A = this chain, B = another copy of it.
Amino acid sequence: MPDVEGFWAVVPAGGAGTRLWPLSRAGRPKFLLDLTGSGRTLLQATVDRLVPLTSDRVVVVTGAAHAEAVRGQLPDLDGARILAEPAPRDSMAAIGLAAAVVERTDPDAVIGSFAADHVIPEVGAFHAAVREAVEVAREGHLVTLGVEPTHPATGFGYIRAGDPLAGFATALHAVEFVEKPDAERAAAYLASGEFRWNAGMFVVRAGVLLDLLGRWHPDLAEGLRAIAADPSRLDDLWPGLEKIAIDHAVAEPAADAGRVVVVPAPFGWDDVGDFASLSSLLPHGDGPVTVVGDAADVTSVDTEGLVVAAGGRRVAVVGLDDVVVVDTPDAVLVTTRARAQDVKKVVDALKASGRTDLT
């Protein structure tokens, strides 16, 4: 199939992934890592997945500290397509800057934003959904890909979908975005069948996104367009931009205004938020222990769980029925899949004790 004319991918590459410590660090964030042992980092896999739709129309937005590493991992991407943020100003500024830059090149362009650190194994289904989303977006809608929930997750926001959108195969009107629910509400959302996970995959005409932003945050929209018009003003204007997430800045008010459409995302999706999530993504080998790295480095006896052998050392586990061991050259983590979310507390404790060299 040919690529999708006039469609640009925007890849925000940010976030440290503190729940994946000690693999991920502030200086070596999740998106730069080959967590699944596929031979490609999450960033590279994200771009690989998009190129059949966009050809070379991919823009990556990342922190200045990581721009060099991103360039190194994406040698085929024109360096001008890698936008370096002087400092983090949340997702609206990052995606909005890319939208403004794309808008100047192609005023009718449709952009799609896809985080650099998510995993989508079923590429064919992903492509089909994005192709429909682009067609819907050309009509002026803000489209979000809605992931079918597989469990009552409390770590994601949800979108409530309504009636079908006339003229399209699967698209639905979006009723509202809702924030991360508690466990009880998450279970109710799952049971209702009306709710989908908001995976942050927005597809929209660049000009529409900036015009919608202009309705509710005019200074931010104007600042982003000013930077795109004169990139030399980036360092000057960036610090004054409003720090706000794209969901709050545009998606939620646009849904209230009836401007948002959901295209169902009938494919597996994972944000690799912690080691339990990583474990579930990996193919299970011969034994009850899933190994990332060289399985020959691991000796396990009566154990189930995940071992990441990234320290070049022998890792031996004996008699644990749910364990996560992550071995790296300067730190080793031991936890369980059940407690994987609390790995963040280790990073917090290290920061509190001044050991930012390890975070």
Q: Which residues of A contact B (CB under 8 A)?
A: 21-22, 299, 301-302, 311, 313-320, 323, 325, 327, 329-336, 338-339, 342-343, 345-346, 349-350, 355, 358
Which 7 residue pairs are nearest across A and B when measured between Cβ atoms? A319-B339, A318-B335, A314-B331, A316-B346, A301-B345, A317-B334, A316-B333
Q: Output the least CB separation between A299 and chain B (Å).
A: 5
Smallest Cβ-Cβ distance to A349: which chain B residue: B299
- List of B residues within 8 angstroms of A316 by Cβ: 21-22, 331-335, 343, 346
Smallest Cβ-Cβ distance to A333: which chain B residue: B316
| Residue of A313, A319, A333 with most partner-chain B CB within 10 A | A319
Q: Are A334 and B323 interface neighbours, CB within 8 A?
A: yes
- List of B residues within 8 angstroms of A338 by Cβ: 319
The CA of A313 and the CA of B21, in the complex, are separated in Å by: 14
Q: A313-B332, A332-B313 given as contacts; is B346 within 8 A of A318 (CB)? A: yes
Q: From DSSP, what is the main secondary structure of chain A's interface residues?
A: mixed
- List of B residues within 8 angstroms of A301 by Cβ: 342, 345-346, 349
Q: Are A320 and B335 interface neighbours, CB within 8 A?
A: yes
Q: A342-B302, A345-B301 given as contacts; is B314 within 8 A of A334 (CB)? A: no
Contacting A318 at CB < 8 Å: which of B299, B317, B345, B350?
B345
How many copies of this protein are present in the complex?
2
* Chain A to chain B contacts (Cβ below 8 Å), 9 pairs: A301-B342, A302-B342, A313-B329, A313-B332, A317-B333, A318-B345, A319-B339, A320-B334, A323-B334
The CA of A334 and the CA of B305, in the complex, are separated in Å by: 12
Smallest Cβ-Cβ distance to A314: which chain B residue: B331
Q: Are A336 and B349 interface neighbours, CB within 8 A?
A: no
The CA of A320 and the CA of B325, in the complex, are separated in Å by: 12
Q: Are B320 and A336 interface neighbours, CB within 8 A?
A: yes
- List of B residues within 8 angstroms of A22 by Cβ: 314, 316
- List of B residues within 8 angstroms of A339 by Cβ: 302, 318-320
The CA of A349 and the CA of B289, in the complex, are separated in Å by: 16
Q: Are B313 and A342 interface neighbours, CB within 8 A?
A: no
The CA of A323 and the CA of B333, in the complex, are separated in Å by: 12
Q: Are A334 and B318 interface neighbours, CB within 8 A?
A: yes
- List of B residues within 8 angstroms of A314 by Cβ: 22, 330-332, 350, 355, 358
Q: A343-B318, A346-B301 given as contacts; is B335 within 8 A of A325 (CB)? A: no
